[in-house]
Amino acid sequence: MDGDMIARLAYLGLLLAAVGGYIIVEFRGRMGQALRTAAAWGLIVIGLMAGYGLWHDLRPGMLPRQTVVEGGEIRLPRAPDGHYHLTLTINGTPIPFLVDTGATQMVLSLPDARRLGIDPAALAFIGEARTANGIVRTARVSLTDVELGPYRDASVTAVVNEGDLDTSLLGMSYLGRYSIEITGGEMILRR
């Protein structure tokens, strides 16, 4: 332990001694009541901490990812992270995408490519993409049976990103098939 850690522990010890001393003096003849009150407040604090910790896990389930409305419009609500997310069904497998109008191609992450039955070891990573994290190698693939709501495409070109990509990106090579409108916290796709 360094000096800073010892100072923090000493401060917390003094704080605990002060609060503990106050509780002993205040609840002198009523220690049972003091313990019940402390247990109640402890459970309240633990509940608040658990709720805060789970909020980001629960929240995506509370907001719709995408909605198809009459006329075939696809409406995407803006997510809490400020981005738009949607799920394409490719060969019957749902693949979540981050909508990225700044990306030229539809980009698959390595885990999503594997989920689609694409073996990255068999791909020729001869392409390059310039990203915020630098230059990454890519391999071109052709996807069949790509669905978004009522729309189905028999053949869509995409690239598999060899780099460390958390989620697949839906770029303009696919989004260009739709007219895009962003209004009121929603992205609306129409064909």
pLDDT in tens, 79-95: 888 899 999 999 999 99
Judged against a pLDDT cut of 60, whether residue 186 lies above it is answered with yes
- Whole-angstrom Cα distance, residue 106 to residue 163? 15
Judged against a pLDDT cut of 90, whether residue 4 lies above it is answered with no
- pLDDT at res. 89: 94
Task: Give 20-49 pLDDT, tens digit per residue.
Answer: 888 788 878 887 887 888 888 889 999 998
Nearest to 181 by CA among 34, 23, 74: 74
Question: What is the domain partition of the chain in residue ranges?
Answer: 3-62, 67-190
Judged against a pLDDT cut of 90, whether residue 107 lies above it is answered with yes
Mean per-residue pLDDT, 3-21: 88
Judged against a pLDDT cut of 80, whether residue 60 lies above it is answered with no
Mean per-residue pLDDT, 154-158: 92
The CATH class given to the 67-190 domain equals mainly beta
Residue type, 122: A
